[in-house]
C-alpha cells in the first residue's frame, strides 16, 4: 500500500527514483510523484495514475551532480486520487512522502491553520510538513524540529522528508509501516520494501518502530541492525507472459515443489522452523489473516482438524483486533500473510504476543515486519508475487498448512507412516495438477464470453471447497469488478436461492472425492430454478450449462488444487475480456499497511 523511495548521491536522481517507484507500483497506483533537491533547488513533479504518466511529465528534467530525492506511489486513504493529493507534499522549503495514516491530523491541521499555515490538499500527510516547518521557524535546529514533529503524530507512518535548510540530508521516521535504508560506496537508498534496492546495495538496515533520524553519506554506519540484502530479482520478471498474474498462475507447480523441499520426505514431514515452539503444549490453534490469506487460513482449518485432530479457529485480523479476543492456554497463534506487512495482521500478532502466547507466521517475505515480530516462521517459497490478485501465494500457503497438519499429526503420534505416505503422494499429485493444462486454459478462455453480464456470480462448494469457492469469488471480483460471492452450497437454500434465475451465474465446485452427491443435490436445486451452472468437476453432470473438466483424481486435495487453477484462470479471462488491468486492478493495493 503506497510505495516510498529516497536517494542521496551523484547519479541522475530522477531515474533512480522512477526506477525504484516502478518496483513498488503494484502496491498502489492512484498517483505518483517525486521531489529532487540539488544545488539548492527543490523540484517536484506529480501525476495522477501510473508511473508512466509521471515519467512523461518530467521527461525533459535531469539532475546531474550531488543531490537527493524522494518519491511516492499512492493508494489513496485521505482525499481523492488527484494531483494535488499526490505525494510529495510541500510547505515553503520542505517536501515529504508518507505511507500510513495520521490519525490525529484533523486537530493538528486546525491548530496549524490558526497559525496561518495554508493547506491545499485533503490528505493527512500535508500536516506533517507544515508542522515541521512551524517547528523549524521556532527553533532552527532541523533534527530537533523533525523529532518534535514526529512525536506529535498518532498513527502509522513511514516518512521521508527533505528540506532546503539541510540540503545533504534525508530525515526519516518509522512507526508501523516498513522502511529500509541501504548503502553502497557513496550512495544511500530508502525504500518501503527491498525490491527497489536489489542490485543497488548489498547492505540494508530494516528500521524498527520508533526510528527517527537524519541520514547523509557520513552516518549510515551508525544504524543498527545492518544486514546483507539477498540479490534475487529474477523471480519478479514476466518471463514472456503478458501479465504477472498469468505468469504467477503458471509457475505454481514449481513454487509448490520448492515449498515442499526439505519439509516433505517419503513418509514423514519435517518442519525445522517449529523447533522454537513447545509443540507438546499445543491443544488448539487460532489462524488469523486478511483477504486471500484468510481463505487459505479457512482451508487450513479443515486440514488441521481432519488430519491433526486439533481444534482450529479462524479469525479475520481486522475483526480480531478489537473483539477483546480470548485464547486458551496451550493455544498456538498463527498469522498468515503473503507480504508480511498487512497492518491488521501485524497488530493482531503483536496483541497476542504481548499476552504471552506462542506465535507462528506463515509468510512469503523474509525479513518482513510479521516475520520479525513472530516467534518463528514457515516461509512459503512463492517468490515475489506482483499480481495484486494473489495466486501462487495462496497455493503455497495452503501447501504449508497441509504440511503443518501432517507434521502435527505425526508429533501427536496419530499419523502412521502408511498414512503419511498417502498424504505425501497426494501432495505431489496435487502439485502436478497445478501445471496449467493448455487445453483447459483455452476452453476457459472460450467459455468466459458467456459470463460477462448477468446480475452476479455465486461460487459454491462444501467442506474444504467452501473456502476455495470464497477465493474463486474474490479473484473474480478483484479483477473483473463483477459482483461475486462464495457460499457453502448447502446454505444456498436458506436465502440466496431467491436470486436464482437465468441471469444468475453459478460456478459449482463438484469434487468426486468429497460429498459429491450432497453438492450435486444443491446444484440441482439451482439448476431447477434456471440459474446458469458452470460445473467444475471431472465427470459430466447433466444439470450443467458449462463444464470445466478436471482430471480424475484419487483424493479431494488433488481436486482442490486443480480447481483452484481453473478458478484463477476463469477470473483472469473474464477480466481480460472486459478490458481490465489484471495486474493492477482499480482501487486495490498489493500490501495494505493501513488498518
Active-site choice (2, 288, 506, 534):
2
Angle between helices 105-114 and 126-139 (to 10 degrees): 50
Least spacing, CB of residue 307 vs ligand G6P, in Å: 23
Burial class for 85, CB neighbours closer than 10 Å (0-12, 13-18, 19+): buried
**180 in Cβ contact with 341 (< 8 Å):** no
Q: Which is nearer to ligand G6P, 54 or 584 (CB)?
A: 584
- Residue 296 lies near ligand G6P (rule: CB under 6 A): no
- The C-alpha atoms of residue 77 and residue 555 are separated, in whole angstroms, by 45
CB 205 within 8 A of CB 158: no
Closer Cβ to ligand G6P, 380 or 550, answer by number: 380
Q: Do residues 202 and 229 touch, judged by C-beta distance below 8 A?
A: yes
Q: Which is nearer to ligand G6P, 68 or 362 (CB)?
A: 362
- 367 or 522, CB closer to ligand G6P? 367
Residues 276-295 that bind ligand G6P (CB under 6 A): 290-293
The answer to whether the beta carbons of residues 361 and 335 sit under 8 Å apart is: yes
- Of the candidates 591, 593, 594, 595, which one interacts with ligand G6P according to CB under 6 A? 591
In the annotation, is 590 catalytic?
yes
Residues paired with residue 226 on neighbouring β-strands, in sequence order: 205
- Quick check: 592 binds ligand G6P (CB under 6 A)? yes
CB 403 within 8 A of CB 265: no
- Name the minimum Å distance from CB 543 to ligand G6P: 33
Give the interface segment with ligand G6P, choosing from 253-261, 404-412, 569-577, 584-592 (CB under 6 A). 584-592
Coil, strand or helix at 127 = helix
Four-residue CA torsion sign, 437, 438, 443, 449: positive
Query: Using the rule CB under 6 A, which residue among 121, 337, 396, 431 binds ligand G6P?
Result: 337
Candidates 14, 247, 477, 590; catalytic one: 590
CB of residue 552 to ligand G6P, shortest distance in Å:
32
Q: Are 560 and 468 in contact (CB under 8 A)?
A: yes
Collapsing DSSP to helix, strand or coil, 100 comes out as strand
Binding pattern to ligand G6P, positions 377-396, x when CB under 6 A?
A: -----------x-x------
**How many CB atoms neighbour CB 228 within 10 A?**
9
- Residue 316 CB, nearest distance to ligand G6P (Å)? 11
- Cα→Cα distances 211→148, 172, 246, Å: 13, 8, 39
* Contact stretch for ligand G6P (CB under 6 A) within 85-93, 225-233, 512-520, 583-591: 583-591
Site for ligand G6P in 479-518 (CB under 6 A): none
Between residues 117 and 247, which has the closer beta carbon with respect to ligand G6P? Answer: 247
Across-strand partners of 94? 163
Report if residue 339 touches ligand G6P, rule: CB under 6 A.
Answer: yes
Is residue 35 involved in binding ligand G6P (CB under 6 A)? no
Residue nearest to ligand G6P (CB): 291
8 A C-beta contact, residue 536 and residue 567:
yes
Spatial distance between the Cα atoms of 149 and 137, rounded to a whole number of angstroms: 13
Nearest to ligand G6P of 94, 591 (CB atom): 591
Considering the rule CB under 6 A, would residue 193 count as an interface residue with ligand G6P?
A: no
Which of residues 345, 395, 538, 593 is near ligand G6P by CB under 6 A? 345
518 is catalytic: no
Q: Burial level of 552, CB count in 10 A (0-12/13-18/19+)?
A: exposed
The binding site for ligand G6P (CB under 6 A) comprises 290-293, 337-339, 342, 345, 388, 390, 588, 590-592
Query: What residues act catalytically?
Result: 2, 590
Amino acid at each position: 500500500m503506497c510505495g516510498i523511495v529516497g536517494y542521496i548521491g551523484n547519479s541522475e536522481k530522477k531515474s533512480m527514483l522512477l526506477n525504484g517507484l516502478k518496483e513498488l507500483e503494484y502496491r498502489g497506483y492512484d498517483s505518483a510523484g517525486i521531489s529532487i533537491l540539488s544545488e539548492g533547488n527543490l523540484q517536484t513533479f506529480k501525476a495522477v495514475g501510473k508511473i508512466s504518466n509521471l515519467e512523461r511529465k518530467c521527461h525533459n528534467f535531469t539532475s546531474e551532480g550531488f543531490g537527493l530525492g524522494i518519491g511516492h506511489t499512492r493508494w489513496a486513504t485521505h482525499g481523492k486520487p488527484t494531483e494535488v493529493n499526490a505525494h510529495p507534499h510541500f510547505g515553503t522549503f520542505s517536501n515529504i512522502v508518507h505511507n500510513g495514516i495520521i490519525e490525529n491530523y484533523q486537530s493538528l491541521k486546525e491548530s496549524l491553520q490558526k497559525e496561518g499555515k495554508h493547506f491545499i490538499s485533503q490528505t493527512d500527510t500535508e500536516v506533517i510538513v507544515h508542522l515541521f516547518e512551524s517547528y523549524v521557524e521556532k527553533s532552527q535546529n532541523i533534527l530537533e524540529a523533525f523529532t518534535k514533529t514526529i512525536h506529535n503524530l498518532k498513527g502509522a507512518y513511514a516518512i521521508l522528508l527533505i528540506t532546503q535548510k539541510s540540503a545533504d540530508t534525508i530525515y526519516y521516521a518509522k512507526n508501523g509501516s516498513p522502511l529500509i535504508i541501504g548503502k553502497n560506496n557513496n550512495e544511500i537508498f530508502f525504500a518501503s520494501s527491498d525490491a527497489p534496492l536489489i542490485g543497488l546495495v548489498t547492505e540494508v538496515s530494516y528500521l524498527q518502530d520508533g526510528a527517527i533520524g537524519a541520514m547523509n553519506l557520513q552516518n549510515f554506519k551508525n544504524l543498527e541492525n545492518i544486514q546483507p540484502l539477498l540479490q534475487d530479482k529474477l523471480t519478479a520478471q514476466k518471463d514472456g507472459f503478458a501479465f504477472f498474474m498469468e505468469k504467477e498462475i503458471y509457475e505454481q507447480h514449481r513454487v509448490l515443489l520448492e515449498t515442499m523441499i526439505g519439509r516433505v520426505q517419503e513418509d514423514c514431514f519435517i518442519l525445522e522452523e517449529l523447533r522454537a515452539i513447545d509443540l507438546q503444549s499445543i491443544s488448539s490453534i487460532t489462524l488469523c489473516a486478511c483477504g486471500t490469506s484468510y481463505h487459505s487460513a479457512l482451508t487450513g482449518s479443515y486440514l488441521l482438524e481432519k488430519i491433526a485432530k486439533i481444534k482450529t479457529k479462524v479469525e479475520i485480523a481486522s475483526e480480531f483486533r478489537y473483539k477483546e479476543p480470548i485464547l486458551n492456554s496451550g493455544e498456538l497463534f498463527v498469522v498468515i500473510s503473503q507480504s508480511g506487512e498487512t497492518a491488521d495482521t501485524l497488530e493482531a500478532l503483536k496483541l497476542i504476543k504481548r499476552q504471552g502466547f506462542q506465535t507462528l507466521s506463515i509468510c512469503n517475505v523474509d525479513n518482513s515486519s510479521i516475520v520479525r515480530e513472530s516467534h518463528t516462521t514457515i516461509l512459503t517459497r512463492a517468490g515475489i508475487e506482483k499480481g495484486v490478485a494473489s495466486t501462487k501465494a495462496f497455493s503455497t500457503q495452503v501447501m504449508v498448512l497441509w504440511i503443518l497438519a501432517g507434521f502435527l499429526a505425526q508429533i501427536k503420534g496419530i499419523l502412521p507412516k502408511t498414512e503419511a505416505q498417502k498424504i505425501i503422494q497426494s501432495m505431489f499429485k496435487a502439485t502436478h495438477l497445478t501445471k496449467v493444462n493448455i487445453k483447459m486454459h483455452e476452453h476457459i478462455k472460450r467459455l468466459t464470453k458467456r459470463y460477462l453480464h448477468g446480475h452476479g456470480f455465486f461460487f459454491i462448494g462444501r467442506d474444504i471447497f467452501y473456502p476455495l469457492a470464497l477465493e474463486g469469488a474474490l479473484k473474480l471480483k478483484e479483477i473483473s469488478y463483477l459482483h461475486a460471492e462464495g457460499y457453502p452450497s448447502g446454505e444456498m437454500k436458506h436465502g440466496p436461492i431467491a436470486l436464482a434465475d437465468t441471469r444468475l451465474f453459478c460456478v459449482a465446485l463438484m469434487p468426486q472425492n468429497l460429498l459429491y452427491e450432497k453438492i450435486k443435490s444443491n446444484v440441482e436445486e439451482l439448476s431447477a430454478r434456471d440459474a446458469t451452472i458452470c460445473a467444475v468437476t471431472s465427470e459430466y453432470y447433466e444439470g450443467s450449462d458449462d463444464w470445466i473438466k478436471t482430471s480424475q483424481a484419487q483424493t479431494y486435495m488433488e481436486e482442490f488444487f486443480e480447481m483452484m487453477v481453473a478458478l484463477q484462470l476463469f477470473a483472469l479471462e473474464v477480466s481480460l475480456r472486459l478490458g481490465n488491468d489484471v495486474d493492477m486492478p482499480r482501487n486495490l493495493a498489493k500490501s495494505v499497511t493501513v488498518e
